[in-house]
Amino acid sequence: MNIARKKYPIFITFILFTTWLVFVNLVDGDWASLENSLDNLSTFFYESLWPPNWKVIEAQAYPVCDRNWDFLCSPAYIGIMETLKIAFVATGFGFILSLPLATLASRNLYRDSIAIPFRVLLAAMRTLPSIIWAIFFVILVGLGPVSGVLAMTFYTVGYLGKLQYEAIEGLSNDPLDAAKAMGLKNSEIIQRVVIPETANNLISQLFFMFEYNVRHGSVIGIVGAGGIGYYISTYLKFLQYDKVIALLIILFGVVIIIDLASIKARSYFVEDATFKSPNLFGNFFRGKKNK
Amino acid sequence: MNTVIEMANLKIGYSPDNILAKIKNLQVKQGEIISIIGESGIGKTTLLKNIANLVKPISGSLKVFDNEQNRGRIGYIPQKLGLVKHETVFFNVLEGAICNESILRSISGFHDDSVLTKVEKSIDLMNLSDKIDEPIKRLSGGQQRRVAIARTMAQEPKLILADEFLSELDNKTVDSVWKTMLDYVERENTTLIIVEHNIERAKLAKRCLKLEQNKEKGYSVLNEVQI
């Protein structure tokens, strides 16, 4: 049999073998640490994590709660709401900023001398994880949700920008060619071809990014950038792991709900959906029409 | 008659090492209707893209409207029509019409009434008024082709380049789509170049050019033929 026909099994074997070799290299002979890991996990779980401490859904001692339900003054509610707000604003800002950058980074719209620098810029914004952006903005603007919004916005621009320029480059050449041959300027082509043709993808990516940012809310809060992460980091400092696990369970629940809503919403905009999808961008850009 | 296209010693392709075709000399006058025929992969679409200024020639001289940059002079209908499939008939035809207004007006969305009237007139001429708010993806092949023609009509170009735009249509629809296009180009004295690999459909044009493979040289050459 021709060796080329066996390339997939050979490739997979190679990948598995290399992964194992690198792993062995990283363990560096210390297999005992792995053997004890299950025992350690069991001890940690039953002594520190379980059962979760549900006091996190009760009102905090200070400030005094002036609302009807104690839950509305609880660390869980305050933290989750702040995380949701940070994620919402950062995703919105990120989307507005990333779209122009993504069009400039698209090689089917602009020549390489323009597209490549913008790709490098987006890659640079993506390279730093959101926690590093959060540390940077906490230093710049101080502790709190504003630094969280700025950190997440920067990361969102880098991440969403990449998804967007990949969607733009995946467009069929024909509508672009027709528009270019007509003599339309790039700004017109973006408005009349690129955005309408990629609108479903862009909206789907927007939902994905919001969900991603909610998940990351727990990370950036650890460095003081607000949200549920702030409470998680406080409980970690005081070794209150049972409260940490309670907050993580709540966060997990919220993420699951957002994930389900996001899947539903995204399916509404994805190509070949079984039901009619509205055309948000098209309706914005259609302009007036004589009846 | 004004010369619309002039080619001399033109070499086309995607790289100097991969020349698809060579055109020694060709002149196309205003109002001519020309078909370009040839086998698949011989360079017909590339030639059209060169004329549309979408691809640069490898070498030689190619002048379209004396290389004056003028918005909206060339109407290009690609093989797959180049319509914005998620958008409506109105939106697509408007894309052609905005060539006749300033970029500022076009981007702002506050289109001139004359532009909007032109759009509706073109849609009406193509008998698509009842489909005006219908997304392109829900139209049949014949209806989509009529939208592409309506877009070109609203654009009012002086040169139309159509790449196998009659393919995948039944004979009855070919007749009606072709008649509409012909009426338009004759009325407006527009130059029309269609690329076809179907000889019967190529006969619909008044002048026929054939890209033929020159096996010795490894590229194709353009010859005028009678069909």
Which residue would you say has higher pLDDT here, B154 or A223? B154
Which residue would you say has higher pLDDT here, A112 or A286? A112
Q: Is any Cβ of chain A less than 8 angstroms from the Cβ of B167?
A: no
**Closest CA of chain A from B54, distance in Å:** 7
Number of Cβ atoms within 10 Å of the Cβ of B131: 20
Q: What are the tens digits of pLDDT across the range A179-216?
A: 999 989 999 999 999 998 898 888 888 988 998 888 88
Q: Are A190 and B79 in contact (CB under 8 A)?
A: no
Given a cut of 50, whether residue A282 has pLDDT beyond it is no
**Closest CA of chain A from B226, distance in Å:** 30
- The three-state secondary structure class of B29 is strand
Could you tell me the pLDDT band of residue A231, with boundaries at 50, 70 and 90?
confident
Question: Could you read off the pLDDT tens digit of each residue along chain B, which spans 227 residues?
Answer: 688 899 999 999 888 888 888 988 899 999 999 999 988 888 899 999 999 999 999 999 999 988 777 788 999 999 889 999 988 999 999 999 998 888 888 888 888 888 899 999 999 988 899 999 999 989 988 889 889 989 998 999 999 999 988 877 778 878 888 888 888 888 889 999 999 877 877 887 888 999 888 877 778 888 888 76
Q: Is residue A163 part of a domain?
A: yes
d(CA B36, CA B49): 13
Q: Is residue A121 part of a domain?
A: yes
Nearest to B80 among A174, A179, A290 (CB): A174
Pairwise CB contact (< 8 Å): B86 & A177? no
Q: Are strands B18-29 and B3-15 parallel, antiparallel or unpaired?
A: antiparallel
Given a cut of 70, whether residue A107 has pLDDT beyond it is yes
Q: Where do runs of H (alpha helix) occur along A62-144?
A: 75-104, 112-127, 130-141
Q: Is any Cβ of chain A less than 8 angstroms from the Cβ of B168?
A: no
| Mean pLDDT within A89-115 | 94
**Closest CA of chain B from A205, distance in Å:** 18
Q: Which of A111, A168, A174, A185 best tests the B interface by mutation, with the highest count of B CBs <10 A?
A: A174
**Closest CA of chain B from A200, distance in Å:** 9
A→B contacts (Cβ < 8 Å), by residue, are 172-185, 187-188, 191-193, 196-197, 199-200, 279, 282, 285-290
Give the model's pLDDT for residue A73.
80
| Mean pLDDT within A123-138 | 87
Q: What are the tens digits of pLDDT across the range B197-226?
A: 778 778 878 889 998 888 777 788 888 887
Nearest to B87 among A176, A188, A282 (CB): A282
Mean pLDDT score of chain B? 88
| ipTM of the complex as predicted | 0.90
Which residue, B76, B32, B21, B71, is CA-closest to B51? B76
Given a cut of 50, whether residue A37 has pLDDT beyond it is yes
In chain A, the residue whose alpha carbon lies closest to the alpha carbon of B120 is A290
How many independent structural domains does chain A possess?
A: 1
Q: Is residue A209 part of a domain?
A: yes
Pairwise CB contact (< 8 Å): B85 & A185? no
What are the backbone angles phi and psi of residue A272, rounded to the nearest 5°?
60, 25
**Closest CA of chain B from A286, distance in Å:** 6
> How many CB pairs (< 8 A) connect A and B?
110
Pairwise CB contact (< 8 Å): A183 & B74? yes
Nearest to B107 among A181, A191, A282 (CB): A191
Q: Is residue A257 part of a domain?
A: yes
Looking at residue A206, which CATH number applies to its domain? 1.10.3720.10
The share of chain A scoring above pLDDT 90, in percent, equals 30
Q: Is any Cβ of chain A less than 8 angstroms from the Cβ of B164?
A: no
Q: Is any Cβ of chain A less than 8 angstroms from the Cβ of B103?
A: yes
User: What element of type H or E holds A268?
Assistant: helix A241-269
Nearest to A185 among B54, B103, B157 (CB): B103
Nearest to A179 among B80, B95, B111 (CB): B95
Q: Are B12 and B61 in contact (CB under 8 A)?
A: no
**Closest CA of chain A from B28, distance in Å:** 18
Q: Is residue A124 part of a domain?
A: yes
All residues of chain A having their beta carbon less than 8 Å from the beta carbon of residue B99 are: 182-184
Give the model's pLDDT for residue B47.
92
Show Cβ contacts of residue A282 under 8 Å, excluding neighbours closer than 6 positions. A196, A199, B86, B87, B88, B91
Q: Is any Cβ of chain A less than 8 angstroms from the Cβ of B91?
A: yes
**Closest CA of chain B from A269, distance in Å:** 11
Q: Is residue A284 part of a domain?
A: no
Given a cut of 90, whether residue A28 has pLDDT beyond it is no
Give the model's pLDDT for residue A123.
93
Which residue, A167, A163, A155, is CA-closest to A195? A167
Which residue, A90, A91, A84, A77, is CA-closest to A231? A77
Nearest to B84 among A187, A193, A288 (CB): A193
Cis ω on the peptide bond leading into residue B157 (within 30° of 0)? no
Q: Is residue A285 part of a domain?
A: no
Give the model's pLDDT for residue B157.
92
d(CA A15, CA A9): 10
Given a cut of 80, whether residue A3 has pLDDT beyond it is no
Nearest to B81 among A174, A179, A191 (CB): A174
Structure tokens at A131: 């926690």
In chain A, the residue whose alpha carbon lies closest to the alpha carbon of B83 is A175
Pairwise CB contact (< 8 Å): B109 & A188? no
Q: Is residue A5 part of a domain?
A: no
Nearest to B86 among A179, A282, A286 (CB): A282
All residues of chain B having their beta carbon less than 8 Å from the beta carbon of residue A185 are: 103
**Closest CA of chain B from A271, distance in Å:** 10
The residue range of the domain holding A95 is 74-271
Give the model's pLDDT for residue A1.
55
Give the model's pLDDT for residue A115.
94
All residues of chain B having their beta carbon less than 8 Å from the beta carbon of residue A174 are: 78-82
